[in-house]
Chains A and B, each alone.
Chain A
Amino acid sequence: MSRRTDNRITWETFSEGLWKENPVFVMLLGMCPVLAVTNSAINALAMGLATTFVLVASGALVSLLRSFIPKQVRIATYIVIIATFVTMVDYVIQAISLDLYNALGAFIQLIVVNCIILGRAEAYASKHRPLKSIVNALGMGTGFTFALLCLGVVREVLGSGSLFGISLFGDHFQPWVVMVLPAGGFIVLGAWLLLFDWLKQRQALPQEEKAHAG
């Protein structure tokens, strides 16, 4: 992690949310929306984008105000800021599509208590300059959206036989209903975690061997 004095914005600032500290696959944060709204790819994408917007906007505001906010009330302040942007997203989604709004249900409002966002505000935005916080939040949001899409695509293809609402296999396909149910969410998440952990270990292996040899 970069130190407080380090204000350079590097590729790392953005990419750590994508891979090294992916909020879903590595930190296992925000599991509630990850399991609940990924029964179709479009829901996953909308949820990911909404969360990204809240992450970026609240990160920017927290970072801008970081020297004014007294330590004693910082959590309360962060929550008010986050809740503000969540309410804005809530209105905007209603304005874009009522169907989408109904499909996402209460999970839009529940972004307020998504620990990824409060975690970023506390651990990153309150210690870094606005631009750097925005870049980092954008990376985290992209990583979160990517993870939701990973689940959403698999669950929609297997559970409904379609992708983004477009039917893939024709009428004779018997959908794997369990995949759109909560149990399917756990199964698919487990499979993705397995895959990513395996990839990570494979990446780490050559480096270890090098270290031993040296």
Chain B
Amino acid sequence: MNTESAQVQQPSTPASHIIAVLTGIAMISGFLVVLTSQLTAPFIAENQRIAIEAAVTRVIPGSVSHKEFILSDDGLKPAEKGAEGQRIYAGYDASGKLLGVAAKAAAQGYGGMIYLLYGYDPACECIRGIKVLKMAETPGLGDKIIKDPDFQANFDRLDARLDPSHMALLHPIVTVKHGSKKEAWEVDAISGATISSKAVGKALNRSAQSLLPRLLPLIGELEVAGK
């Protein structure tokens, strides 16, 4: 075998020495990584909290505070570590009145998954705003979904009423070609960024269709929680 001849050529290092060195390096490495992780954990958690807070305030206009809940088959629960289900954020004004509910949605865009947060206002049964949390769309084209004012205007009172059976949306949210928006539940696409715009519409539709029928019967609980 080749390895045997290679070992003859080199001054042989005992296996115990190799094992000792590798173990030593691995221990130093583990110590450094754990140390950094422990030191930075509070800052990272704080950054994430600030990011979520800013996003919730943006998609629920007028909200000054928010509470996190987990929505599962057993109903609503305050968010705790390890709780299973969909995380939602209820936004309240200064007097504790429920202004809206924010939830996450995602869909496949042009350059990867688009993750966004949207705010639902139970008073008007409509979507009041979206904020893109993470995306990899083409700079200059697809990334206009973040800032383009005309596109963002779609999500001021985007119709999300439920049908009489309360099982699905009365009108599914759809993205239409740039300039052809007529109905309140349609999203006007950005010209040149149709795939990204469609992904946003698809994400909202999918999330609203599954979330709102489960959430609306429990809105009362959220209103009480703010008091």
Contacting residue for B44 out of A83, A85, A87, A95, CB 8 A: A95
Known contacts A84-B32, A98-B51, A181-B139; decide if A65 and B25 are in contact (CB<8 Å): yes
Q: How far is the CB of A163 from chain B (nearest CB, A)?
A: 16
Interface size on B, residues (CB 8 A): 27
Closest to A78 in B: B25
A175–B143 alpha-carbon span in the complex (Å): 14
Q: Decide yes or no: A73 and B40 within 8 Å by CB, A87-B33, A88-B33, A105-B136 being known contacts.
A: no
Cβ-defined contact, B25 with A175, below 8 A: no
Cβ of B95 under 8 Å from chain A: no
Question: Once the chains are docked, how many angstroms separate the CA of A73 from the CA of B24?
Answer: 13
Evaluate contact between A181 and B36: CB separation under 8 angstroms.
no
How many Å lie between the Cα of A174 and that of B140 in the bound state?
11
Least CB distance, A161 to chain B, in whole angstroms: 11
Do B51 and A73 have beta carbons less than 8 Å apart?
Answer: no
With the chains together, A61 CA to B43 CA distance in Å? 27
B5 at the interface (CB under 8 A from A): no
In the complex, the answer to whether B138 meets A92 with C-beta atoms within 8 Å is: no
Bound-complex Cα distance A159 to B140 (A):
8
Chain B residues within 8 Å of A177, by CB: 139-141
Q: With A65-B25, A81-B29 given, is the CB distance from A72 to B13 under 8 Å? A: yes
Set of chain A residues within 8 Å of B29, measured between Cβ atoms: 80-81, 83-84
In the assembled complex, the Cα of A70 lies from the Cα of B47 at a distance in Å of 43
Bound form: Cα–Cα A88–B37 in Å: 7
| Chain A residue, CB-CB nearest to B31 | A84
- Would you call A70 and B139 a contact (CB within 8 A)? no
Going nearest first, the 9 A-B pairs with the smallest beta carbon separation are: A177-B140, A95-B43, A84-B29, A95-B40, A88-B36, A70-B13, A180-B139, A91-B40, A94-B44
Selected A-B contacts with CB under 8 Å, 23 pairs: A69-B21, A70-B13, A70-B21, A73-B22, A77-B25, A80-B25, A80-B29, A84-B28, A84-B29, A84-B32, A87-B33, A91-B36, A91-B44, A92-B36, A92-B40, A94-B47, A95-B40, A95-B43, A95-B44, A95-B47, A96-B43, A98-B47, A159-B140
| Chain A positions near chain B (C-beta within 8 angstroms) | 39, 61, 65, 68-73, 76-77, 80-81, 83-85, 87-88, 91-92, 94-98, 102, 105, 159-160, 175, 177, 180-181
